[in-house]
Chains A and B, each alone.
Chain A
Amino acid sequence: MRVDIWVEEMKVLVAVKRVIDYNVRVRVKADNSDVDLANTKMAINPFCEIAVEEAVRLKEKGVAEEIVVVSIGDKACQEQLRTALALGADRAIQVDVADAMDPLSIAKLLSAVVAKEQPDLVLLGKQAIDSDNNQTGQMVAALSKLPQATFASELIIADGKATVTREVDGGLQTLELSLPAVVTTDLRLNEPRYASLPNIMKAKRKPLEVLSADDLGVSISQKLKTVRVDNPPSRTAGVKVSTVAELVDKLKNEAKVL
């Protein structure tokens, strides 16, 4: 049984991931071991940025009191945590681990942070644009025994509940979750702001805590391995047609798809 007392000042935990910038075209390494990320522009995953923005808006509305951002990875991800702090988060946690952990291990570390911080709301992006997994929020919800609302395009917090409109295949679906809950963001939830220079300066002084997997009592196992990475099959160069009549003729007689 859960005790139904609702404290207005809620804490929001937001998970952010450092990924390749979404405009960069990736190259597969010649040895097919992975994609080549050396000297590549990195950024906050766009969906995570939307999660940070939503948390900041909840704080501006007086719904949230504190925003904690967390990222899992090596020291480089502190750059993305500082960005989140500049956007309005209050403090940051880096869980320091080597890169390329499997999704279940990430979810275990995040749910250990959830257990430690006891947030009222956990916000994540619906997927990272590198691995395209779309798993972490759901796994954290499962491991933390919390309800989940994925692919959110609208989030309303009131009376200890989250009312979430989700983007589903046929249209939209609205759910009501008891808090604490896990919500993952879709692209249309909001339009993230840019960090101002004064806020970037201020963010440098905000607290950033570094934790290890041991600190969190999580043992990491690697059960999912990437055997190789290939280029996708490339398409052969097409032809330009000059008229609609020629296009229709080619579709009928050459491609035979009409």
Chain B
Amino acid sequence: MSILVIAEHDNHELKPVTLNTLAAAEALGDEVTLLVAGQGCQAVAEAASHIPAVTKVLLADSADYQHQLAESLADLVVQIGAQFGHILFAATTTGKNVAPRVAALLDVNQISDIVAVEGSDTFRRPIYAGNAIATVQSEDAIKVITVRGTGFDAVAAQGGSAPVEALSAGPGFELSRHVEDKLAESDRPDLTAASVVISGGRGMGNGDNFQLLDAIADKLGAAVGASRAAVDAGFVPNDMQVGQTGKIVAPQLYIAVGISGAIQHLAGMKDSKVIVAINKDEDAPIFQVADYGLVGDLFEALPQLEAEL
């Protein structure tokens, strides 16, 4: 049975996490069809057709799919999904929104946030905020899965030439309507894809002090993240939150500044290659996972760090 992967995109660009999701499909070892559903998203399908791991691209271009609302997108995936053995989404807010709806409509379970493929029906996934790893086996005829991007290395984006086939749109779903998006503007790399992430917590004191992190991020080409405490205190917007309920990151270097290291925060970053903690409390739990710890006042350490880089 072949594999259907749902492309993550914003109607203009294919999101890099799609390449990680395709790596999970590659581990399953079957032919991969990639679905691009959106509006005015031909460029996305074109880019997708160059991915060597993709055998065929399906393009559903319609106003119904412009915002990839769960209701319309799930109906589309269910319409074409029955012929596939696996249906894979990235474990992004879009994937998490749509995949369970697809699974329920197909009368199968959904498997969330897999980090490894053990066999065509067996997968590993973190539970309890990443404090345990469950190996789960599905007897369902169709495996509907969300893939944790940081669990899989991205496949190559160039070198293939898959055909693009247009799909007709199904009837739109009338009970929900998109009103508006308020997206945060940033020139920095995407948090989930950045190779360096510097995050601030409650210890930053206020939102203005995040400029200290911005200055370092600019020198390192890093993304800036935050703990829940910093988001709840209104220092920074919620889309910067790293943790069990925010984004999961696994960069080469994660610098935690003024973050105590609660279980819920560690769930989002403890797979980083190298972790640095800067905190004035030497008993902070973050030091138990940090490769390099600096006990000290962040307001002294951060300007020094910027100067040293």
Contact = CB atoms under 8 A, between A and B. Distances in A.
A240 to B, nearest CB: 5
B96 A134 contact: yes
A135 B244 contact: no
B231 to A, nearest CB: 8
Contacts of B282: 240
B131 A26 contact: yes
A167 interface: yes
A248 interface: yes
Given A227-B122, A238-B290, 15 more contacts: A138-B70, A138-B97, A139-B100, A140-B104, A141-B101, A148-B101, A148-B176, A171-B181, A171-B239, A173-B178, A174-B181, A181-B176, A224-B109, A232-B133, A239-B291
Interface string A131-147: 11111111111110011
Interface stretch (A5-13, A53-61, A212-220, A249-257): A249-257
B129 A129 contact: yes
B276 A251 contact: yes
Contact of B178 (A135, A175, A188): A175
B97 A150 contact: yes
Interface in A141-173: 141-143, 146-151, 153, 163, 166-173
B131 A25 contact: yes
B94 A168 contact: yes
A225 interface: yes
Interface of A: 20, 22-23, 25-26, 28, 35, 102-104, 107, 126-127, 129-143, 146-151, 153, 163, 166-178, 181, 186-188, 223-232, 235-245, 247-248, 250-251, 255, 257-258
B103 A135 contact: yes
Question: Which interface residue of A22, A136, A167, A224 has the most chain B CB atoms within 10 A?
Answer: A224
Contact of B305 (A126, A178, A186, A244): A244
A144 to B, nearest CB: 10
20 contacts: A107-B100, A130-B128, A132-B127, A132-B128, A135-B110, A139-B100, A147-B176, A148-B101, A148-B176, A169-B192, A173-B181, A176-B176, A223-B108, A225-B136, A229-B135, A232-B130, A232-B133, A238-B287, A240-B282, A241-B294
B154 interface: no
A226 to B, nearest CB: 5
B237 A171 contact: yes
Interface in B261-305: 263-264, 270, 273-276, 282, 287-295, 301, 304-305
Interface in B62-86: 67, 69-71, 74
List the 8 shortest-distance A-B pairs measured between CB atoms, nearest first. A138-B100, A135-B100, A142-B104, A139-B104, A147-B176, A244-B304, A147-B175, A174-B179
B180 interface: yes
A22 B243 CA distance: 14
Nearest to A143: B104
A34 to B, nearest CB: 9
B165 interface: no
Contacts of A225: 136-139
A238 B292 contact: yes
A172 B186 CA distance: 14
A123 to B, nearest CB: 16
Contacts of B105: 142
B108 to A, nearest CB: 7
A53 B110 CA distance: 28
Contacts of A245: 304, 308
B133 A148 contact: no
A26 B183 contact: no
Question: Which interface residue of A134, A141, A223 has the most chain B CB atoms within 10 A?
Answer: A134
Contact of B93 (A28, A135, A151, A243): A151
B238 interface: yes
Contact of A247 (B177, B181, B239, B305): B305
Contact of A148 (B70, B130, B289): B70
Nearest to A237: B288
A175 B127 contact: no
Nearest to A242: B294
Contact of B109 (A103, A132, A230): A103
A249 to B, nearest CB: 9
A26 B101 contact: no
Contacts of A153: 238
Contacts of A35: 127-128, 131-132
Nearest to A178: B175
B101 A139 contact: yes
A146 B184 CA distance: 30
A168 B70 CA distance: 13
B43 interface: no
A244 B183 CA distance: 35
B218 interface: no
